[in-house]
Amino acid sequence: MSINISNKIISVEDLEHTYGSNKVLHGINLSVDKGKVFGLLGKNGAGKTTTINIMMGFLKPDSGRCLIFDENSYSLSNNTKSKIALLHEGHLAYDFMSIDETEQFYQSFYKAWDKEIYAYLIKKLGLKRSHKIKNMSCGQRSQVTLAVLMAQNADLLMLDDFSMGLDAGYRRLFLDNLNDYVQKREKTVLVTTHIVQDIERFVDEAILIDKGRVIVSGKINNLGDGLHGYRINLDVDIQLLNNYTEIKDISTNNRCYEVITYIKPVEADIFFSKALSKKIDYEYFNLTLEDTFIALTGKY
Amino acid sequence: MIKSIWLKEYIKLKKILIILLLIHMVVALYYFITLRGGFEMVTPVQIWLDIVAKNSIYFYRYEVVFYGTAIALGVFQFLPEVIKRCFRISCHLPMNEYLMTASMISFSILFLTLLLVIDTVLISVVSSLFFPYDIYSLIPKVMLYWYLESVLVYMIASILTLEPLWKNKIKIAVLIVGIVTLIDVTVYKTDIYYLFIIMAIVIISIPIIYYPAIRFRKGVM
C-alpha cells in the first residue's frame, strides 16, 4: 500500500481567463512546494492580479484549475481558510478598529493565534493598544498587518502587494521580520509586488508572467540565466545596437549605458565590434532581478 | 464567531448607533413637549376626537425616522466594506460566507428591533399621559409596521451599497421602486393583513443580499 503525501501547497494548471473579449490569462502553470517562498512577478496588466485573485478564490477561472492544499481555491473549506494568512491588495486589518480590537477580532477565528508575536511586533510601534488603525501612517499600518499575518500562525501566507504605499525603510523592515518568521517556522509564502528588487533577497523561486503567459520560472537566482549585462561609456553611439534581437534592453544612467543581452562574455568583443563597426570599451556587470525583469518584459 | 462579527459591526458602527439612538430619543422628547403644549391650549377631548375622526397618527414622524435609520445603517455598514474591498477579507475568514453575511445583517436588524422596543415604550409612556387607552393601544401595531418597513429599507440600502456594478445598482433600484410603489399603502397601517404582507416581503428580501454579496466576493467588478 502506498500513501501519496503531496508536498504541493499551491498547484495551478492551465489557468485561462477572459474579461469580455480580452483574454488575460493564456494557460498559466505554477506550483509552490511546502516551505518555499514563491514570487509571482509581472508588470501592470500582465495578468498577475487576475492570477492572484483566482488563487485567493476571488475569481473563478474560465478554464484550468487552482488547488490550494488540494482544494479548489474557489470553494475553500473553513479548515483550509484557517491555514491561509491572506494579505489582499495591501489590506488586512479593518482601519476602524484599534490595535487591541484587531487582535480581539482575529484571534477568535484562528485557534493557533500567537499572542506573543502580535505583542512583540506591536510593541515596536510604540503606540497605545487603543490606537485606531485609521490614524496610523502607512508604515505603522503595515506593521499591524504583519503582526496579524504572523499571529495567525497559518501554514501558507499569501501576500498580495504588501509594499503598497510603503517607503523603502518600512518595506525592508516588513521583509526582514517576515523573513525571520518564515525561516524559523518553515512557512510557505506566495508573494506579489510591483517592486521587484524588494523580493530578490526574500524569495526562493519565482514565476515571471507577461501578457498572460509565463515568460520564465525557476529559482530566483536562475531567472536571468543566459542574460548578461555590459556597461558602455556614454560617449559611444550605441543606437545601432537597437537593431539586434539579441539586445534585450538598453538603459541609461548618469555614468554609462547598461546593455542587457544574450551575448556571452566570450563573444561580446566580436559582437560589439561588428555591431558598432568599431572596437569599444565595456565592462561586465551582474544583473539584478530588476534588470532581468526589465530585459524579459520590456519597459512598456 | 457570530459574536466576533457582531463585535466588528459594533466597532464599525458605534458612533452611528449612538447618534441614531439619540435621534430616536429626541423625537420622543419632541412628542412629549408638543403634546404637552397642545393639551395646554386645547381641551383633550377635542384632540382625541380629531385623531379618531381623521384616523391620523399623531406620532407619524417616527416613520421617517425609522426609514432614515435604516438607510444610515445599510450605507454606513457596507460602504467601508466596499471602499477597500474589506468584504473580501471578511469572506476569507474561516467561517461560512453565508453565515458571515447573515451575521452582519442580523446585527443591524437587532439594532432596529431594539429601537422598535425603545420607541414603542417611550411613545406609549408619553401617550399614556395624554390619551385614553383606546388611542395609544394602537401604537405597538403601527410601530411594528414601520419597523418591518424599515427592515425592508435597510435591506434595500445594503443591497444597493454592496452591489459591485453601477448598472446593476440602477436595475435593482428601479425594480425595488416598482415593488415598493405597488405595496405602499397610505391607510392607517394597523390592519393585520398589511403586517403579514410586509412581513412576507421582508423575509423574501433578506436572502437577496447574497446576490451582490457573493458576486462582490467572487470578483464581479
Residue B141 has a CB neighbour count (10 Å cut-off) of 16
User: Hey, is B54 helix, strand or coil?
Assistant: helix
* Among A60, A84, A109, beta carbon nearest to B218: A60
State the average pLDDT over residues B48-55: 71
Q: How many residues does chain A have?
A: 300
How many alpha carbons fall within 13 Å on the CB side of residue A38? 24
Cell of B214: 457573493
pLDDT of residue A64: 92
User: Hey, is A289 helix, strand or coil?
Assistant: helix
Interface test with chain B among A18, A54, A78, by most B beta carbons within 10 Å:
A78
Whether A58 and B218 lie within 8 Å, measured CB to CB: yes
Whether A96 and B88 lie within 8 Å, measured CB to CB: no
**CA atoms of B108 and A96, how far apart (whole Å):** 17
**CA atoms of A99 and A136, how far apart (whole Å):** 10
* Among A59, A78, A104, beta carbon nearest to B96: A78
User: Hey, is A128 helix, strand or coil?
Assistant: coil
Residue ranges per structural domain of chain A: 8-222, 228-297
Q: How many Å lie between the alpha carbon of B104 and the closest alpha carbon of chain A?
A: 14
Q: Is there a contact between A261 and A228 (Cβ–Cβ < 8 Å)?
A: yes
Q: Please indicate if any CB of chain A lies within 8 Å of the CB of B8.
A: yes
Q: Which residues from chain B sit within 8 angstroms of residue A59, using beta carbons?
A: 218-219
Nearest alpha-carbon partner for A69 in A188, A149, A181: A188
Give the torsion sign (CA, B62, B64, B65, B66). Answer: positive
Starting at the edge strand found earlier in the chain, the sheet holding A22-33 runs A22-33, A8-19, A63-68, A71-72
Residue B108 has pLDDT above 90, yes or no: yes
Q: How many residues does chain B have?
A: 221
Residue B32 has pLDDT above 60, yes or no: yes
**CA atoms of A222 and A199, how far apart (whole Å):** 14
Q: Which residues from chain B sit within 8 angstroms of residue A79, using beta carbons?
A: 94
Max Cα separation, chain B? 64
* Helix, strand and coil percent figures for chain B, each rounded to 5: 85, 0, 15
**CA atoms of B220 and B85, how far apart (whole Å):** 12
Residues with Cβ within 8 Å of A83's Cβ and at least 6 positions away in sequence, in order, are: A69, A154, A155, A156
Confidence category of residue B219, pLDDT binned at 50, 70, 90: low
Confidence category of residue B135, pLDDT binned at 50, 70, 90: confident
Confidence category of residue B112, pLDDT binned at 50, 70, 90: very high
pLDDT of residue A156: 92
Residues of chain A with pLDDT under 50: 1-4
State the average pLDDT over residues B54-75: 83
User: Hey, is B9 helix, strand or coil?
Assistant: helix
Q: What is the 3-state secondary structure (H, E, C) of A218-263?
A: EEHHHCCCCCEEEEEECCCCCHHHHHCCCEEEEEECCCEEEEEECC
Residue B178 carries which side chain, given as an amino acid letter? Answer: G
Q: What are the strands, taking DSSP E only, across A20-144?
A: 22-33, 37-42, 63-68, 71-72, 84-87
**CA atoms of A47 and A203, how far apart (whole Å):** 20
Q: Does domain A228-297 have CATH number 1.10.10?
A: no
**CA atoms of B34 and B49, how far apart (whole Å):** 18
**9-38 of B, contacting A, C-beta below 8 A:** 11-12
**CA atoms of B87 and B212, how far apart (whole Å):** 11
Residue B182 has pLDDT above 70, yes or no: no
Residue A287 carries which side chain, given as an amino acid letter? Answer: L
Q: Does domain A8-222 have CATH number 3.40.50.300?
A: yes
Cell of A19: 474579461
Q: Is there a contact between A105 and A97 (Cβ–Cβ < 8 Å)?
A: yes
Q: What DSSP string runs through B146-174?
A: HHHHHHHHHHHHHHHHH-S-HHHHHHHHH
Question: Rounded to 5 degrees, what angle do the CA atoms A111, A117, A118 make?
Answer: 80
Q: What is the ipTM of this complex?
A: 0.79
Nearest alpha-carbon partner for A6 in A32, A25, A43: A32
Nearest alpha-carbon partner for B210 in B155, B149, B154, B170: B155
Cα A69 versus chain centre, distance: 20
Q: Is there a contact between A182 and A189 (Cβ–Cβ < 8 Å)?
A: yes
State the average pLDDT over residues B125-140: 81
Helix B2-41, helix B61-83: angle, nearest 10: 150
Q: Please indicate if any CB of chain A lies within 8 Å of the CB of B77.
A: no
- β-bridge mates for residue A205, sequence order: A38, A219
**CA atoms of B60 and B187, how far apart (whole Å):** 12
Model confidence over A211-243: pLDDT tens digits?
Answer: 889 888 888 888 888 888 888 887 777 777 778
